[in-house]
Amino acid sequence: MSGSGLEFYLTTLLVYGGIDVIACLGLNQQFGVAGVTNFGYIIFQAAGAYTAAVLSLPKDSANGGFQSYIAGLSLPFPVPWIAGAVVGAVLAVPFTFLVGKRLRGDFAAIGLLVAAVMANLLVTNYRPFLNGDAGLALIPAPLNSTMDSQSLGYQWGYSGVAVILAAATYWFCRRLTESPYGRTLRAMRDNDVVADSLGKNLRLLRAEMLVIGGAIAGLSGAVLVGFITLWAPSAWGYAETIVLFAAVIIGGAGNHLGAILGAVLVPLGFEEATRFIPSFGPPGLIPALQWVAIGILIVAFLWFRPEGIIPERRRTSREVGDAQPPETPRPHQPSPRAASRAGNEPEEARSAAADPVVLEARVISRSFGGVHAVADVSIALRRGHLTGLIGPNGAGKSTTLAMLAGTLPVSSGSIWLEGRDITSLPAYRRARLGLIRTFQLASEFKRLTVLENLLSAVPAQAGEQLGGALLGRRHWAADEAKNVAEAREMLDRFGLSAQANAYAGDLSGGQRRLVEIMRALMARPSVLLLDEPMAGVHPKLANEIGEHLLHLCEEGMTIAVVEHELAYMDQFCDPVVVMAEGRVLAEGTMSELRRRTEVVEAYLVG
């Protein structure tokens, strides 16, 4: 290879590398950080490329009319590139309805895959709009009227621009990901139902990710089409998306540096490696083997090293020194209410009826297929009370809690919060009104640290919206510091300071329960619904938590807790609601309930 030949080769590599890095960063932002699986990612790149092409091309009659396409505006650089990004973003908008339709993401993933397949079929078979499977050729290179696009100087210039755009994309994605907004995205990725219950608007977050990813993909397509001056639908098969997924997974999903490494190793590396392999076998064998190799690599990584080559970085808080000794929980004074409870129940019961109802379920039902999990249940939670909910397994306690919080819609009946009908409000809107729940099954955000789990719940954070994140650290640093201080205090109180920077997914079962309780409290609830919060928690600590909950009730919080331990109900809860077979069997203080044989039977038989 001559000197200039080598330079041509290197600059070409830089251009392709820059384009692949941009595309992989966009996909990593969607998939690695936010957990939005977009199997149609490639169509956004194709759309950006097409846009840039037809905006730089002259009218389609100019070259003897052998190609047909829309626009043909001969717009100057960089307008076609900007338009490519804009069209990528706009094209994502209709798909945001797909990601909003269901809480779970798999539905949207399949929908986007289908869209990508259909888009390619449409493009290939519908000539007037996009020139069919012939695609477009003779696309003017940017600035080709003032510069010789075949010169070495042009090559270096183009590769410089590609690298700068890749760096800018990295900077942009980092700014989003390393903000409270990014933490919310990662929380959504780890457990979307729980993020929803903490007041995160999943529809909006996913829509923003699709639009931003669409813009980034569109930009990468525009840069590509300006360089190769060709656009062909055969290059945008839906399977090309898999190559980018392979890059992100192998490099390290969730880590933008990993995405960059993956871009260099997979799309670029594979293309270049085959260039140097002597050809063998029938034509088409080597490209086919490439696909096999990429498939095997994806499976191998998902199996042996799912975190990729450069795993997602653990975000430790600098303020939280690891040297801190594990704190023992602050002892709680028995609350006056708990003290007065002993032997004074009738009076307690009377006072219970006097406090205002904060959250009320009016004859709610829920069936799953033919199973009536909850049937005509009415429950009223009163301000300042720690209401207990007991009943055998399958009684409908968790389902009732889920309907109160909005995680599950009711089949019939209505839910009222402070005199307002909230039946049709989605869970995140109820959470923003102060109605917070925890889950019976482990629901920590696994790949967030304990501290991050707590911070994720804080409502209305300065850097939690897209706009706030884009404004940068200076915009949200002060608010963040305040929230970190509050979270540290909470960790202190529950004796988990030493684990502040550990991944929540690595804790013991009991510790994870504590994380969930702390996280719920960080959401500043006015009504708190706890589903078996003490399961697996040391009895002594469970006791202290009970005292703390009572203390919060005295300060005006309204709490309901599902528990199996009768002793726990005895000690802390008033009133206690007994459920069995989807219905409320009885309600009253524990000693009242003990006197009722049907309650004892239901509970003991269950």
Judged by the rule CB under 6 A, the positions of this chain that interact with ligand ADP are 368, 371, 373, 391, 393-399
Residue 252 near which of Mg ion, ligand ADP, none (CB within 5-8 Å, type-dependent): none
By beta-carbon proximity to ligand ADP, the closer residue of 459 and 606 is 606
Give the nearest distance from C-beta 479 to ligand ADP in angstroms.
Answer: 37
For Mg ion, which is the closer residue by CB, 155 or 398? Answer: 398
* Residues 117 to 136 in contact with Mg ion, rule: CB under 5 A: none
Count of residues interacting with Mg ion (CB under 5 A):
2
| Gap between the Cα atoms of 176 and 178, Å rounded | 6
Cβ pair 390, 603 in contact under 8 A: yes
Nearer to Mg ion, 246 or 561 (CB): 561
For residue 499, give every residue at least 6 positions away whose Cβ sits within 8 Å of its Cβ, in sequence order, or none: 450, 491, 507, 511
Cβ closest to Mg ion, residue 365 vs residue 398: 398
Of 174 and 372, CB closest to ligand ADP: 372
Residue placing its CB nearer to Mg ion in the complex, 400 or 465: 400
Name the β-bridge partners of 381.
359
Question: Nearer Cβ to ligand ADP, position 397 or 519?
Answer: 397
Bridge partners (DSSP) of residue 415 are 361
Work out how close the CB of 365 gets to ligand ADP at its nearest, in angstroms, rounded to a whole number: 12
Among residues 350, 306, 327, 260, the alpha carbon closest in space to that of 499 is found at: 327
Q: How far is the CB of 413 from Mg ion (least distance, A)?
A: 19
CB of 193 to ligand ADP, least distance (A): 12
Widest Cα–Cα separation across the chain: 99
Strands (DSSP E) found in 6-114: none
Q: How far is the CB of 399 from Mg ion (least distance, A)?
A: 8
From the list ligand ADP, Mg ion, none, partner contacted by residue 606 (C-beta under 5 to 8 A by kind): none
d(CA 402, CA 48): 43
Of 484, 371, 359, 378, nearest to 433 (Cα)?
359
DSSP state of 31: I
Q: Minimum distance between the CB of residue 529 and ligand ADP, rounded to whole angstroms? A: 12
Torsion of the alpha carbons at 342, 344, 345 and 346, rounded to the nearest 10:
170
Q: Which does 213 bind (CB under 5 to 8 A by kind): Mg ion, ligand ADP, none?
A: none
Chosen from Mg ion, ligand ADP, none, partner binding at 567 (C-beta under 5 to 8 Å by type): none
User: Which does residue 550 bind out of Mg ion, ligand ADP, none, counting CB within 5 to 8 angstroms by kind?
Assistant: none
Name the minimum Å distance from CB 335 to ligand ADP. 28
**Out of Mg ion, ligand ADP, none, which partner does residue 371 contact, by CB within 5 to 8 A per kind?**
ligand ADP
| The dihedral sign for the CA sequence 28, 32, 33, 39 | positive
Please state the closest distance from residue 599 (CB atom) to ligand ADP, in A: 15
Question: Rounded to an integer, what distance in angstroms lies between the CA atom of residue 564 and that of residue 543?
Answer: 14
Tokens of 340: 């007065």
What minimum distance in Å lies between the beta carbon of 211 and Mg ion? 38
Q: Which does 553 bind (CB under 5 to 8 A by kind): Mg ion, ligand ADP, none?
A: none
Per the rule left: phi > 0, alpha: psi between -120 and 50, beta: everything else, 588 is: left
Strand order in the sheet with 527-531: 435-437, 527-531, 558-562, 386-390, 576-580, 583-588
How many CB atoms within 10 Å of residue 115? 19
**What whole-number distance in Å separates Cα of residue 303 and Cα of residue 299?**
6
Q: Which stretch binds Mg ion (CB under 5 A): 68-76, 381-389, 436-444, 483-491?
A: 436-444
Residue 364 three-state SS: strand
Tell me the CA end-to-end span of the chain in Å, nearest whole number: 82
Select the binding partner of residue 561 from Mg ion, ligand ADP, none (C-beta < 5 to 8 A, by kind): none
Work out whether 335 is an interface residue with Mg ion (CB under 5 A).
Answer: no
Structure tokens of 72?
């043909």
Q: ∠561-562-564 over CA atoms, to 5°?
A: 130
User: Strand, helix or coil at 330?
Assistant: coil
Residue 394 binding target from ligand ADP, Mg ion, none, CB below 5 to 8 Å by type? ligand ADP
Instruction: With contacts defined by CB under 5 A, name the span among 426-434, 438-446, 501-509, 585-593 that binds Mg ion.
Output: 438-446
Rounded to whole angstroms, the Cα distance separating 132 from 392 reads 64
Nearer to ligand ADP, 105 or 391 (CB): 391
Query: What is the closest distance, in whole angstroms, from the C-beta atom of residue 395 to ligand ADP in the complex?
Result: 4
Residues 369-408 that bind Mg ion (CB under 5 A): 398
45 vs 398, beta carbon nearer ligand ADP: 398
Assess 440 for contact with Mg ion (CB under 5 A).
yes
Which residue, 205 or 573, has its beta carbon nearer to Mg ion?
A: 573
**Closest approach of Cβ 161 to Mg ion, in Å?**
58
Given Mg ion, ligand ADP, none, residue 391, with its beta carbon under 5 to 8 Å by kind, binds: ligand ADP
- Partner from Mg ion, ligand ADP, none binding residue 396, C-beta < 5-8 Å depending on class: ligand ADP
- Full strand arrangement of the beta sheet holding 420-421: 371-382, 357-368, 412-417, 420-421
Query: Which two structure tokens, joined as six digits, stand for 321?
Result: 């020194």
**Residue with smaller CB distance to ligand ADP, 294 or 401:** 401
Q: How near is the Cβ of 401 to ligand ADP at its closest, in Å?
A: 8
In the complex with ligand ADP, which residue's Cβ is closer, 45 or 399? 399
Q: How far is the CB of 197 from ligand ADP (least distance, A)?
A: 16
Closer CB to ligand ADP, 226 or 396, in the complex: 396
211, 93 Cβ separation under 8 angstroms: yes
Q: What is the DSSP string of 520-565?
A: HHHT--SEEEEESTTTTS-HHHHHHHHHHHHHHHHTT-EEEEE-S-
Residues found near Mg ion in the complex (CB under 5 A): 398, 440
